[in-house]
């Protein structure tokens, strides 16, 4: 190993710090990071193309499985876009139920993040305690929706399941337990010096940089950027609810922790308001199978930031084009900036602080053909044929793959 003083350490695609594959190539001098480069795309599954071959109802379930922890976000954003194109107005009770599940999902996601952050800095006790408390919210969600992740609550035109009156006291009891535990975690985050010292001044992203890099969600709000789709562009039932947008001004990982923990407290307030004001009525309206031609963009505040869905319909029962821009795509470009001039030991927590969900992120935009210096789009059949040839050369024959669509 030639010692020029700089060592190139590959973090990923497989690494114990990362929950999903992505590649950070760090250049180290001793323990200090002098340069970092980010490469994503390892989790690309062709979901946007697969949506075009399925009906809108089937697409709901596919879009939901883009990610495990923000599944309701994607499903609601998609349903909202389709409902906008079709001109359907969903009943008020459906809006409230969608929002209740959305806030419960936010609670779940932030508690999971607290545990992951603890694990990345070696604080396994925090991981065990927060994930034990996460079971409370997962049990509530399993009762309300029928599943612990990938809830399947949405349908085009409303929701599929109703919240019965006898379930509400249990939900409130669970929310009370979680609020007490969250207050304990706020106390710990303010008092434990080993935690504070690991998180403070790490991953600095100034206000100007946050806006320039297009950061969204708690990553941007910790730098003082007041951006929250729930307030800027209210959807579902958020227009009727009174809540605060939490920002912090320390611009570092500690600020992001505080923002997320305080957002948990706000979510509990929102859930209580929603359950108290739940209107009567039906939970869905009949939606046509063939959606008339049109296009719509729908925005949603996922636990990680702003989630954008674009849907174009052409009058048939299958969408013409679906595009998903997940919040992590907007945040991951800031990671290279945040890692410069920090220590290697800060890398896991800086990456974890943007709450990466690379399953959400990897969508194909366009292909640059480097050999011919032109931008090219491949057709589905050509990629399909090329991939079968690639595997045939290595002795595996996929031509007999069963196609149901």
Partner 1 sequence: MLMPIFNILIFPGLLFLFFFSMLAEYYDRKLGARLQNRVGPPWFQPLADFIKLLGKEDIIPEEADNRVFKLMPVFALTSVSCAFFYIPLWGKNALYSFNGDVVVVLYLLTVPILTYFLGGWYSRSVFSMIGAVRSLTQLFAYEVPLFMTILAAALLADTWSLSKMAAFYSAHPGYWVFNILGFVIAQITLLGKLEKVPFDIPEAETEIVAGSFTEYSGRLLALFRLSINIEMVVGTSLLAAVFMPWWLDAGPIAGFIIYVLKVAALISLVSLLRSLFARLRLDQMINLCWRVFAPLAFLQVIINLILKGALFK
Partner 2 sequence: MIWPGAMIRQLLSSLTKKPATVNYPADKSGMPKGFRGKLKFDASKCIGCKMCMKDCPTGAIVIRQVGEKKFEADLDLGKCIYCGQCVDSCLKKALGLTSEFELAQLDPKKLKITLTDGPSIAGNKEGSGE
- Single out the segment in contact with partner 1 by CB under 8 A; choices: 8-16, 175-183, 362-370, 378-386: 8-16
Applying CB under 8 A, which part among 13-21, 77-85, 142-150, 256-264 lies near partner 1? Answer: 13-21
| Residues 164-193 interacting with partner 2 (rule: CB under 8 A) | 184, 187-188, 191-193
Residue selected from 31, 124, 135, 233 as contacting partner 2 according to rule CB under 8 A: 135
Residues with Cβ within 8 Å of 20's Cβ and at least 6 positions away in sequence, in order, are 42, 43, 356, 357, 358, 359
Residue with tokens 């679906």, as numbered in its chain: 322
In the block, tokens 């062709």 appear at 46
Q: How far apart are the first and last CA of the chain?
A: 52
- Nearest to partner 1 of 192, 208 (CB atom): 192
Angle between helices 92-120 and 124-145 (to 10 degrees): 160
22 near partner 1 (CB under 8 A) = no
> Is residue 375 helix, strand or coil?
strand
Our finding on whether 282 is near partner 1 (CB under 8 A) is no
Binding mask of the shown chain, residues 67 to 96, with x at each position contacting partner 2 by CB under 8 A? ------------------------------
Distances, alpha carbon 328 to alpha carbons 201, 217, 283, 356, in Å:
22, 9, 32, 6
Is residue 222 within 8 A of residue 255, CB to CB? The reply is: yes
Whichever of 122 and 214 has its CB closer to partner 1, that residue is: 122
Is 118 in contact with 199 (CB distance < 8 Å)?
A: no
> Residue for token digits 């399993």?
142
Identify the CA nearest to 346 among candidates 243, 148, 233, 200. 200
| Pair 40, 22: CB distance under 8 Å | yes
Choose between 94 and 347: whose C-beta lies nearer to partner 2.
94
Contact between 132 and partner 2 by CB under 8 A: the answer reads: yes
> In the set 37, 46, 128, 208, which binds partner 1 (CB under 8 A)?
128
The partner in contact with residue 146, picked from partner 2, partner 1, none with C-beta cut-offs of 5 to 8 angstroms by kind, is partner 2
Contact between 346 and partner 1 by CB under 8 A: the answer reads yes
* Residues 45-64, mask of contacts with partner 2 (x by CB under 8 A): ---------xx-xx--xx--
For the bound state, the minimum distance from the C-beta of residue 251 to partner 1, rounded and expressed in Å, comes to 19
Find which of partner 1, partner 2, none residue 137 binds, CB within 5 to 8 Å per kind: none
Which is closer to partner 2, CB of 147 or CB of 282? 147
Q: Are 195 and 121 in contact (CB under 8 A)?
A: yes
Nearest of 228, 304, 238, 313 to residue 277 by alpha carbon? 238
Q: Which two tokens stand for residue 61?
A: 């379930």
- To partner 2, the closest distance from the beta carbon of 324 in angstroms equals 17
Residue whose CB is less far from partner 1, 137 or 188 = 188
The pair phi, psi for residue 291, each rounded to 5°, is -90, 130
Q: Does 110 bind partner 1 (CB under 8 A)?
A: no
Q: Find the binder of partner 1 among 12, 20, 22, 28 (CB under 8 A).
A: 28
Among 346, 331, 300, 5, which Cα is nearest to 154's? 300
Query: Which residues here bind partner 2, judged by CB under 8 A?
Result: 54-55, 57-58, 61-62, 65, 125-126, 129, 132, 135, 139, 142-143, 146-147, 150, 152, 155, 160, 184, 187-188, 191-194, 404-405
């Amino acid at each position: 190993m030639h010692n020029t003083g700089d060592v190139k350490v590959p973090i990923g695609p497989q690494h114990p710090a990362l929950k999903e594959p992505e590649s950070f190539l760090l250049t180290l001098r001793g323990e200090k990071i002098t340069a970092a480069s980010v490469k994503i795309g390892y989790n690309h599954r062709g979901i946007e193309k697969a949506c075009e071959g399925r009906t809108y109802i089937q697409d709901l379930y596919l879009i939901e499985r883009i990610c495990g922890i923000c599944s309701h976000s994607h499903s609601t954003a998609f349903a909202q876009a389709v409902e906008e194109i079709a001109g359907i107005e969903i009943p008020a009770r459906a809006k409230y139920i969608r929002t209740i599940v959305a806030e419960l999902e936010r609670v779940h996601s932030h508690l999971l993040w607290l545990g992951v952050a603890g694990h990345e800095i070696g604080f396994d006790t925090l991981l065990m305690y927060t994930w034990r408390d996460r079971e409370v919210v997962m049990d509530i969600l399993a009762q309300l929706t029928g599943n612990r992740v990938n809830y399947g609550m949405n349908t085009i035109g409303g929701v599929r399941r109703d919240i019965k009156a006898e379930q509400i006291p249990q939900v409130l009891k669970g929310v009370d337990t979680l609020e007490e535990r969250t207050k304990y975690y706020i106390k710990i985050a303010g008092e434990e010096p080993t935690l504070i010292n690991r998180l403070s001044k790490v991953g600095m992203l100034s206000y100007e940089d946050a806006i320039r890099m297009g950061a969204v969600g708690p990553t941007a709000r910790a730098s003082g950027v007041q951006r929250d789709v729930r307030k800027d562009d209210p959807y579902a039932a958020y227009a009727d609810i009174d809540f605060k947008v939490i920002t912090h001004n320390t611009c570092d990982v500690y600020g992001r922790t505080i923002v997320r923990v305080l957002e948990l407290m706000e979510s509990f307030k929102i859930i209580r308001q929603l359950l108290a004001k739940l209107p009567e009525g039906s939970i869905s309206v009949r939606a046509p199978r063939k959606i008339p031609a049109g296009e719509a963009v729908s925005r949603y505040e996922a636990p990680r930031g702003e989630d954008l869905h674009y849907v174009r319909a052409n009058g048939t029962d299958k969408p013409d084009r679906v595009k998903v821009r997940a919040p992590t795509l907007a945040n991951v470009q800031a990671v290279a900036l945040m890692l410069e001039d920090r220590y290697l030991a800060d890398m896991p927590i800086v990456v974890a602080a943007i709450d990466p969900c690379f399953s959400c992120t990897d969508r194909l935009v366009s292909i640059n053909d480097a050999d011919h210096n032109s931008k090219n789009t491949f057709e589905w059949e050509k990629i399909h044929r090329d991939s079968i040839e690639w595997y045939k050369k290595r002795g595996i024959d996929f031509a007999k793959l069963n196609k149901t669509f």
